[in-house]
Amino acid sequence: MLSVVKVEIKKLMSSMVLWMIPAGAILPAIISVLVLLNIEGVYWKGYIHTSMDTFNPLAFLIFACFVSFIWAREYEEGMMEITLLYPYPKYVLLYAKIILMFIIIAIIVILWAVSTYIAGRIYLGEVMNTGDLKELIKMLPVIIVTQFLLVTITFFITMVFKNILVGAILGVISVVLCYLFQASPAIQYIPICLPMVLSHNLYGFNQVILDSYAVSFGILSATFTVMLIACVIYLRKKWELH
């Protein structure tokens, strides 16, 4: 299993989309600073909150692109036949890619936190106090887990369509949905908007409506499980029977 993950990492390292990791992490921080540039009286928590609300919907776009890229490139670059020759059960391939996605998500989220801190330090001109820093650090696992719970949706849709474009389309739709339903109570029931809703509320803000944390985490967990099962069933039908 570990060696398949290593192979996946090596394949990713040689790809043309690696620039998305720093871009996905650094751009939200820069954009937040630019958006707040002319506003006076900005404090650390407000700045982090703006950056987080910018990052979450955009991060899903990045992660969805990564997922569809690491799955569909096997087909588009004619590598799937070779990949299926690995002496491993076929599902290991899926699990390896899911683990790879966890690593990517974790790296991007941590890089985002670091770049947000650096950009904020330059913009606000003061050191973040320990309380705010602790709160930011506490938010990182939440963002990582909530974003990770969505990867199986993209995996499943990419498996069905076998097209790299799927991730980009899904990502754009998610950004549009998050923007459209920002003020509507319906947002707490749309799985792809939940990372934004949860982190927004857990960070102490309440402009985005959320009635119950349990229901939201339940929706995310159910989405992950159902989509994972759907992926496995789809792959069984596709690979084992033929």
Partner 1 sequence: MKYITLELRKIKKTSMSYIIFLFATLPILLMLLLHITSDEINKEFYTIIANYSVIITMCLFTVSIILANYIITREYQESTIIYLFIAPVSRKKILASKFGLLFLILFTLSIFTYGCIFLLNVMLGEVNSDIFARYVAACLSGAFLFFLLMPLIVAIALWRKNFISSMLISLVMLIFTSPFMFTQNFYAFPHLIPMAVSNNMLMTDNKLDINYPLAFLILALVGCLFTFVSVRLFEKKE
- The site for partner 1 (CB under 8 A) is made up of 16-17, 20, 23-24, 27-28, 31, 34-35, 37-38, 54, 58, 61-62, 65, 69, 73, 163-165, 168-169, 171-173, 175-177, 179-181, 184, 186
CB of 187 to partner 1, least distance (A): 10
SS3 of residue 17 by DSSP: coil
**How near is the Cβ of 236 to partner 1 at its closest, in Å?**
26
**Spatial separation of the C-alpha atoms in residues 206 and 51, rounded to whole Å:** 16
To the nearest whole angstrom, how small is the minimum distance from the Cβ of residue 169 to partner 1?
A: 7
Q: Give the residue with the Cβ less far from partner 1, 26 or 94.
A: 26
Structural contact between residues 154 and 166, judged by C-beta atoms closer than 8 angstroms? yes
Amino acid identity for residue 84 in this structure: L
Question: Which one-letter amino acid corresponds to residue 233?
Answer: I
For partner 1, the closer CB: 27 or 202: 27
Q: Are 55 and 144 spatial neighbours (Cβ–Cβ below 8 Å)?
A: no
Nearer to partner 1, 137 or 183 (CB): 183
CB of 209 to partner 1, least distance (A): 12
Shortest spacing between CB 71 and partner 1, in angstroms: 12
Residue number, 139 or 170, with CB nearest to partner 1 = 170
Which residue, 5 or 61, has its beta carbon nearer to partner 1?
61
Q: Which is nearer to partner 1, 62 or 198 (CB)?
A: 62
The secondary structure element, H or E, covering residue 85 is none
d(CA 76, CA 15): 13
CB of 145 to partner 1, least distance (A): 23
Residues 122, 125, 130, 136, CA torsion sign: negative
Residue 25 to residues 21, 33, 90, 99, 167, Cα–Cα distance (Å): 6, 14, 32, 19, 18
CA 240, CA 146: separation in Å to the nearest integer?
32
- In the bound complex, what is the minimum distance in angstroms from residue 190's beta carbon to partner 1? 11
Q: How far is it, in rounded angstroms, from Cα 188 to Cα 206? A: 12
**62 or 151: CB nearest partner 1:** 62
Contact by Cβ (8 Å): 151, 101? yes
d(CA 93, CA 61): 23
